[in-house]
Structure 1
Amino acid sequence: MAKLTKTIVDRADPREKQYTVWDSDLKGFGLFVNPAGSKTYFVDYRTPEGKRRRMTIGRHGSITTEQARKLAIETLGGIVLQKEDPLLERQTRRSSLTVTDLCDNYLKAAKKGLILGRSGKPKKSSTLDTDTGRIERHIKPLLGKTLVIDLKRSDISKFIRDVTAGKTAFEGKSDKARGKIVVSGGAGTAARTVGLLGGILSYAVSEGIIEFNPAQGVKRPADKRRERRLVASEFKAIGKVLGNADAVAWQGIIGTKLLLLTGCRLGEIVKLRWEEVSLDEQCFRLGDSKTGASVRPIGKAAVEVLKEIRSDKAAGWVLPGIRHPSDHIGSLDDLIEKIMTMAGLIGVTAHTLRHSYASVAADLNYSDNTIGAIIGHAGSGTTSRYTHRLDTVLVAAADIISEEIKRQMN
């Protein structure tokens, strides 16, 4: 037995059966010689539990003898000093999930109702659509190829910085006619996306994929999204446009008025059906909202708007599509943007209208719980008690709030 060198390795001729050439200087370092002529370096060692293992280092020709020796020293040194099992680690890494794999598994579980949201119920399809968008546009491009077992807090921090800086920002066409996809960066996007990532990694912990969540304890940027509210002069400017907006489809006019006078979410008005509207009781009985089935009180001012377009045999969508009346309106947010441009206002969205409704209610000294119950806010304790039945006190409050907004618009 001699020290393995290039000369010794080159002289090791193939035999009828595979055989081993050991290195005399480094115990456990050797070379397999295959009958076909290939030669492979390996290390032979015992695990901390006493099991004998052999792990290949590389094929001669792909690496040199000295390179193989250095790798063998590193491997055997790790076994002695850190009590590791390098072969088991290699096998574990080969079978480990990437972040892309984990995200796909998470979404499959969520679609089966196995992932619960903050309400303790399975995530809604609309929420899953949002989650999917954040995964595809931010998480996979930045972390998709990384093994989940390799994720560190520093990786999560870098992810936040990259999303905040707009590294994943994107603008392009969607599958819908004249549709557009706008993926933004910024602190708000980073905060919401890393919140989702933290949930995905918590799922990984629960599945035994990793032992702890690397996103836990990582400082997130403050999510300062959509805090803008309308002031009296802005309500008046919008009211003036809504009274003289012949250039805007009627769905945009009515939809904007309903958002202003009810505090509903954009999707709740877009998908509102006449079967869910009760003008006599002054309420919407929503079959599906962000917080599930919900009863929303509405004021007389909103009822008057609905009466403008309600026919004797009203059925189907309250706001039918402009080109395809059999479907609901699909461009209300665009129509709102057009109306706000005509009013000379910048940065006013459907959520701004909802937030402004709540702000006017607060100006009228209604409590957070009352406001939350009226607009169906998921964070309101009162909401859980009132969303499934109509309360006359809330109807009276909705009357006063919507009347005040109508007054400011006029």
Structure 2
Amino acid sequence: MKAKLTERRVNLLKPTGRRYDVRDDAVPGLLVRVGPTGHKTYYLDYYDADGKRSKYRIGPADAVSLSDARKEARKRSAEVAGGDNLNEVKRERRRQAEVKQQQVLGVFIDEVYTKWRSAERKRADEDLARLKLHFEHWYELPMTQISEAKVLDWRQDRLIQGMSPKTINRDIACLMAVLSHAVRVEVIPESPLRNFKQLKVDLRERVRFLSSEEEKRLRDYLEAREVSKREGRINHNKFLRSRNLPPKPEIGEGQYYDHTTPLILLAINTGCRPEELLLLEWRDIDFVHRNLTVRGVQSKSSRTRHIPLSAEAIRVAKRWKASPGSNRSGLVFPGAKGQPMDRMPRAITRIITACNLEDFRPYDFRHTFASKLAIAGVDLNTIRELLGHETIQMTLIYAHLTQDHRREAITKVFD
């Protein structure tokens, strides 16, 4: 339908239940489209340089006057005559606007980086939490404005607060990873931190591990705890029976009360990372060949590795499997509802405190495993393979232990 459009005529156009167009005879290509519900929109109907017919949306009739629609139609018709494809130009402008919005650090993290990081890396939630904790005050900045000077000032403040260089480097590495991914997906042309130098870290710093005396104290405590828990269960069941209530499963001497003791002992005997132990399944323990498999999906490096099990590790695993609180299949150390635990149980931290193990964390059971091997003269490359380190540099923190052991041997013989 073609007509001489006026504001009044446009307002009087009625819905028919089907979409229809009314073309303006004053400006070629201009039309008003009436939707099934009566909604009216101005369009420019045109042919692009390739002869393809397209419609360019000018705007709704209740927001754009007829005179403004005619001006816009004439302007866009001139652009078409110059060879522009209006819809392509509009899409490119929209894309550039989206890119500009994504160039803001917080927007990019929320809309792009979080999804990618979660798919690419285990425990990505830790990286994202670290970003939010330390750099949220920069979330409204364009990423190109996160200069080396800003990061240097932030780093200096952290050093003054007493944070270790290793921790600071880890935090900054998370930020640098965001900027690098922004370059990769062409949101920014280059990372403003591409030449940033991290703090130097001593790769051979001494690590915290259990001394022989501390380990004996810990083991004695664990055994006493098992005896106490076993007696407590007996007394509790007596109480339940006296009230005609069903008793809880008895705990035999060849069983564990809960997962605390076997978790600690396996950590000492295997050197597994805490998250690797918490994701360990019974199918990963080969009792016949005395072998534990850390599958790639569990490992920090995403590489499967195999750890030979000591006689004690086999005894601990069998004893735990036979215990009332253990699953016979699935996770070796499940949470209260059968799900994987996201961190070592607090009971372990309480035991560390009760045993007066100063400056000791659950992760240091892993250091204890590696340190025992180093002191026994095992070469660093073998230790690297057992720990699942990607490079030997990560294992060099145990190098001084092999030297101390050799020095003691020489002292015993020649001094």
Q: Is the 8 A contact 2:207 2:367 kept in 1?
A: yes
Give the CA deviation at 1:302.
0.7
Within the candidate set 379, 383, 386, 2:391 is matched to 379
**Matched position secondary structure for 1:295:** strand
Q: Aligned residue for 1:302?
A: 313
Q: Residues 162 and 103 of structure 1: is their aligned pair in 2 closer, same or farther, counting only changes over 3 Å?
A: farther
Preserved CA contact (<8 Å) 1:198 1:215: yes
Q: Which residue of 2 aligns with 1:234?
A: 214
- Matched with 1:191 is 169
Residue deviations 1:50-105, cap 9 Å, x none?
xxxxxxxxxxxxxxxxxxxxxxxxxxxxxxxxxxxxxxxxx999656211123232
Q: State the match for 1:291 in structure 2.
A: 301
Is 1:147 matched with 2:142?
yes
Distance 1:134 1:331 in 2: 17
Q: Among all aligned residue pairs of Structure 1 and Structure 2, give the percentage whose two residues are the same amino acid.
A: 22
User: In 2, distance between residues paired with 1:164 and 1:209?
Assistant: 32
Match of 1:110 in 2: 117
Unaligned runs of 5+ in 2: 1-96, 230-256, 396-415
User: Residue 328 of structure 1: CA displacement?
Assistant: 4.2
CA contact (8 A) 2:274 2:343 kept: no
The correspondence for 1:157, drawn from 152, 156, 165, is 152
Letter in 1 for 2:349: E
Q: In 2, are the aligned partners of 1:205 and 1:213 still within 8 Å (CA)?
A: yes
- Distance in 1 separating the partners of 2:211 and 2:374: 13
The amino acid that maps onto 1:300 is: A
The whole-number CA distance in structure 2 between the counterparts of 1:255 and 1:372 is 22
Larger Rg belongs to: 2
Gap change, CA 1:213 and 1:227, over 3 Å in 2: farther
Residue matched to 1:133: 129
Residue 348 (structure 2) pairs with residue 368 (structure 1): no
Paired position in structure 2 for 1:280:
288
SS at match of 1:335: helix
SS in 1 for 2:113: helix
Distance of aligned partners of 1:92 and 1:226 in 2 relative to their CA distance in 1, 3 Å threshold:
farther
Q: Which residue of 2 aligns with 1:19?
A: none
Specify every segment of 5 or more residues in structure 1 that has no aligned partner in the other structure, as ranges: 1-90, 113-121, 167-183, 384-410
Aligned residues: 262
How far did residue 163 of structure 1 move?
4.3
Deviation for aligned residue 1:239:
1.6
TM-score w.r.t. length of structure 2: 0.56
C-alpha RMSD over aligned residues: 3.2
- Shift >6 Å, 4+ stretches: 91-94
Kindly provide the amino acid, as one letter, of the partner of residue 192 in structure 1. R
**Residues 273 and 317, structure 1, Cα contact 8 Å, conserved in 2:** yes
Matched residues in 1 for 2:278 and 2:98: separation?
Answer: 49
Contact 1:228 1:355 in 2 (8 A): yes
Comparing 214-223 with 269-278, greater Cα deviation is found at: 214-223
User: Residue deviations 1:303-333, cap 9 Å, x none?
Assistant: 1111212239921222233x43x33456634
1:350 has 2:328 as partner: no
Return the match for 1:314 from 315, 328, 338: 328
- TM-score, structure 1 normalization: 0.57
> How many angstroms apart in 2 are the aligned matches of 1:367 and 1:226?
18
CA contact (8 A) 2:101 2:107 kept: no
Tell me which of 250, 271, 279 is aligned to 1:263: 271
Measure the CA separation in 1 of the matches of 2:156 and 2:114.
25
Q: Is the 8 A contact 2:104 2:142 kept in 1?
A: yes
Following superposition, the deviation at residue 188 of structure 1 comes to: 3.5
